[in-house]
Copies of this chain bind each other. A is one copy, B any other.
Amino acid sequence: MLTAQQEKQFTLEELIPGGKYYPHFYPTIPQQFQWNGNRLAAIGNDSIWLIENEGRGRKSFILTYKEIEEGPGMGENRINRLSFSHGGGDEVLFYTSGGTGVYDLKKKEHRAFFSYPEKSGNQTLSPDHSFMAYTIENNLFVADSNGQAWALSNECNRGIVYGQSVHRNEFGISGGIFWSPGGRRMAFYRMDETMVSDYPLVDASARVAAVKYSKYPMAGMASHHVTIGIFDTLTKETIWLQTGEPDDHYLTNIAWSPDGEAVYMAELNREQNRMQLNRYNAVTGSFDRILFEESHPKYVEPENPVLFVRNKDEQFIWQSDRNGYNHLYLYDISGKQLKQLTDGTWEVTEVIGFDKKGENLYFIATLPSPIDRHVCSVTLKSGKITQHTTLPGIHTATLSTSGRHLLDRYSSHDNPGRIDLIETCTGRTTLLSQAENPFAGFSMPTVELGKVNSADGRTDLYYRMIKPAGFDAAKKYPVAVYVYGGPHSQMVSNRWRYGSGGWETHMAQKGYIVFVMDNRGTAYRGLDFENVTHRQLGVVEAEDQMKGVAFLQSLPYVDSERMGIHGWSYGGFMTINMLLRYPEVFKVGVAGGPVIDWKYYEVMYGERYMDTPAENPKGYEESSLLNKATQLRSRLLIIHGDEDPTVVMQHSLQFIKASIAAGTHPDLFLYPGHGHNMMGRDRVHLHRHITRYFDDFIPQD
Q: Enumerate chain A interface residues (CB-CB to B < 8 A).
A: 197-200, 202, 204-205, 207-211, 216, 218, 221, 642, 648-650, 653-654, 656-657, 660, 663, 665, 667-673, 682, 685, 688-689, 692, 696
The complex is assembled from copies of this chain, and their number is 2
Docked Cα-Cα span, A133 to B29, in Å, equals 79
Contact A660 B653 (CB under 8 A): no
Docked Cα-Cα span, A45 to B671, in Å, equals 52
Contact B665 A688 (CB under 8 A): yes
Contact A202 B205 (CB under 8 A): no
* Minimal Cβ-Cβ distance residue in B for A696: B696
* Minimal Cβ-Cβ distance residue in B for A668: B669
Determine which of B205, B650, B667 lies in contact with A204 in the assembled complex, contact meaning CB atoms within 8 Å.
B650
* Chain B residues whose CB sits within 8 angstroms of the CB of A205 once the complex forms: 654, 657
Contact B665 A689 (CB under 8 A): yes
Docked Cα-Cα span, A70 to B653, in Å, equals 47
Closest approach, in angstroms, between the C-beta of A299 and any C-beta of chain B? 24
Docked Cα-Cα span, A207 to B648, in Å, equals 12
* Chain B residues whose CB sits within 8 angstroms of the CB of A685 once the complex forms: 660, 663, 665
Docked Cα-Cα span, A656 to B200, in Å, equals 20
Contact B199 A653 (CB under 8 A): no
Q: 17 new A-B pairs (CB below 8 Å) besides A208-B218, A653-B670, A668-B670?
A: A197-B208, A200-B200, A200-B210, A208-B216, A209-B650, A642-B653, A653-B672, A656-B670, A657-B673, A660-B672, A660-B682, A663-B688, A665-B689, A667-B667, A667-B669, A668-B668, A668-B669
What is the interface of chain A mostly: helix, strand, loop, or mixed? mixed
Docked Cα-Cα span, A656 to B689, in Å, equals 12
Contact B204 A199 (CB under 8 A): no
Contact A671 B667 (CB under 8 A): no
Contact B668 A656 (CB under 8 A): no
Contact B211 A211 (CB under 8 A): yes
* Chain B residues whose CB sits within 8 angstroms of the CB of A209 once the complex forms: 199-200, 648-650, 653
* Minimal Cβ-Cβ distance residue in B for A649: B204
* Chain B residues whose CB sits within 8 angstroms of the CB of A650 once the complex forms: 204, 208-209
Contact A672 B688 (CB under 8 A): no
Closest approach, in angstroms, between the C-beta of A688 and any C-beta of chain B? 7
Which of A654, A663, A670 has the most chain B CB atoms inside 10 A of its CB?
A: A670
Which of A221, A667, A692 has the most chain B CB atoms inside 10 A of its CB?
A: A667
Docked Cα-Cα span, A42 to B654, in Å, equals 47
Docked Cα-Cα span, A23 to B209, in Å, equals 40
* Chain B residues whose CB sits within 8 angstroms of the CB of A663 once the complex forms: 685, 688
* Chain B residues whose CB sits within 8 angstroms of the CB of A656 once the complex forms: 669-672
* Chain B residues whose CB sits within 8 angstroms of the CB of A211 once the complex forms: 200, 211
* Chain B residues whose CB sits within 8 angstroms of the CB of A198 once the complex forms: 208
Contact B692 A665 (CB under 8 A): yes
Closest approach, in angstroms, between the C-beta of A575 and any C-beta of chain B? 18
* Chain B residues whose CB sits within 8 angstroms of the CB of A200 once the complex forms: 200, 202, 209-211
Closest approach, in angstroms, between the C-beta of A124 and any C-beta of chain B? 33
Docked Cα-Cα span, A211 to B199, in Å, equals 9
